[in-house]
Structures are given as structure tokens and as C-alpha cells.
Amino acid sequence: MTAVPDVSIVVVSYGSADDLPASLPAAAAQEGVSTELVVVENGDSSRTRELAAESGARFLPMPDNRGFAGGANAGIEVTTGRYVLTLNPDCRLAPDFCRALRDRLDAGDAKDAGSASGKILRAEGAGLSATDTIDSTGIVFTASGRHFDRDSGRKDAPPESTREIAGVTGAAGFYRRAALDAVRISTGWFDEDFFLYREDADLALRLRAAGWRSLYVPGAVAYHRRANLPSRRRSIGAVANYHSVKNRFLLRINNAPVPEFRRLPTLARDLVVLGGCLFVERTSLRAFSYLARHRRRLFGKRAEIAAKRR
């Protein structure tokens, strides 16, 4: 009988072959922990298949592009580890990243911790070289319904201690499989309606609502070359920006209590988003038609999520 690995590492690629020579060997070489590695390819698969084989990873090509959420779900489906690490192709792990997070969540005082974030620093160049600038130490939510990466852009300043956070970023998100299974819904562990962007924030909220804590563990270090920042929105592309707008409202439909829909900070931000779509980013207006067309199904899913709350 095959032993269950400690950690299943799921890498979702979409034309990411240039980054995989740096990220895959680091993922495959995790120390002091048993792992399985699967590479899910949403796009061109030829070079990715070769790189996956070189790192001893299982290669899982998608018949069509299911986005990050769908790709991550496909990877989780075929793995068995007690923990799941979703890893962006442009994120390189330190050798003890998985061990540090496994050990912390295996501790007796963390049985109700469903996820954990390491200290993710910014990376540079094709080799994902380390910098001393923080990329993320988890997720933080604001009163207006927005969410950001904690400490993003700050200089690294150790020493630090483990503390509770709101959730983890999918770039290197470490999840207890039992927690994922507890909040799985009809559209997956990650909600595939999101396709890409904000799906990690949605999962963070669903885990919290179901009674699972999230921890920041600074001893687990990774390096992420982040391409998408709020300041670069206009260069990201119309498709990505459309999903970003759509998913802002999906996040609230899935998780926010009804009074949140009427709060002044939330309404003010909604007006800003609508105005931006009307006068600047008209290609994102179709996000509102999507929400209108699917409203019955989306609010039915909201009830499904509510039934899992504790």
C-alpha cells in the first residue's frame, strides 16, 4: 500500500514554461517532508511536459483552459497528500518551505488551522532570484470589501513570530486537505466561477466561516515574481481585468452578510468600479451582464456556502 504523502504540490501553468526551470526543481527538492508534485497545464503543453518529467512531476494537461481555479481543482483531485500546496510557476520555494508549514499545522495547538502562509518575498528575473521586499504574508480584507496581500512592498524585517491571519494567497497557499474538503462546493474547492483572480480570497473567507483558522509562519520562505499589481492594471489585459471586476462581486455574493451590500464604504467602492468600467475600462462592463444572467445560480451557490458555516 502506497503511503500518503505529507504534501501535494499543485502547479498550475498557462504558457509558463520559461519559469518552470527555476520553480519545479525547488518544489521537487523539498527537504524533510514527503511530497508529490503535479503540473497542470492549461495552455501549450509540449515544453511543460518535458520540464515536468525532468522534475519527476506528474503532468496533467487540460483539454481546455479552466483558469487557475479549475487547474488547481484538477490537481487537487488527482493527489492524496494530507496537505495541499498551490504554487504559481513563478514562485520558488526555499528547501524547507513545506516542512516548516507541515510541522506548524501538525502541532497540537493548530488542529483547527485550515491553511498557512509562509513569508513570500519578491523575486526577480528568469531565475526567480531573491529580493528583500515582501510580496505577501497572507491576505488582509478591508471595510470596503477589498483585499490585499499583507505587507506587500515592505522591506523584510526579521525576526517575526507566527500569528493568525485572514487567509493565504494562492501563489504559495498551504491548505489542510480536511479543511478543503469541509468547504468544497459544487464549483470546486476553489470556486471555478472565478476562473482567475480572487479565488484564493474567496476560499479564505469560506474557510474562516466554516471555523478554520489561518496562520502566518515566517520560517517558511518562498520567492515570487509578481506580475499583477494594482498599479499595473492597465497593462494586465482586458480578459484579466474583466475577471477581476466580476470576481469582486462574486466574492461578496458568496460570502458577505446581507447588510454588507448596503454599507457606505462598500457602495462607494462599487460606484468607483462602475464608473471606471463606464468611462475607462469598458471591456469590463460585461462583468455586470454575467452577474445578471447567472444571478439565480449564484445566489443558489450562496445558500450552499451558508450551509457549511459554523
DSSP states along 124-142: ETTTTEEEEEEEESSEEE-
| pLDDT tens readout for residues 162-200 | 999 999 999 999 999 999 999 999 999 999 999 989 999
Q: Which helix (H) or strand (E) holds 122?
A: strand 113-124
Percent of the chain with pLDDT over 70: 96
Name the residue among 19, 207, 245, 16 with its Cα closest to residue 124: 19
Highest average pLDDT, of 193-197, 212-216, 249-253, 258-262, comes from 212-216
Confidence of residue 235 (pLDDT cuts 50, 70, 90): low
Helices and strands of the chain, counted as H and E runs? 11, 12
Instruction: Count CB neighbours of 293 within 10 A.
Output: 11
| pLDDT tens readout for residues 260-300 | 767 787 888 888 898 999 999 998 999 999 999 999 999 99
For the chain, give every domain's residue range.
Answer: 7-230, 233-306
| pLDDT tens readout for residues 43-95 | 877 899 999 999 999 999 999 999 999 999 999 999 999 999 999 999 999 99
What CATH code would you report for 7-230? Answer: 3.90.550.10
Distance CA 89, CA 37 (A): 12
Burial of residue 270 (CB within 10 Å: 0-12, 13-18, 19+) is: middle
pLDDT for 234 equals: 56
Taking the whole predicted model, whether its pTM rises above 0.75 is answered as yes
Q: State which amino acid sits at residue 302.
A: R
Q: Which helix (H) or strand (E) holds 220?
A: strand 213-224
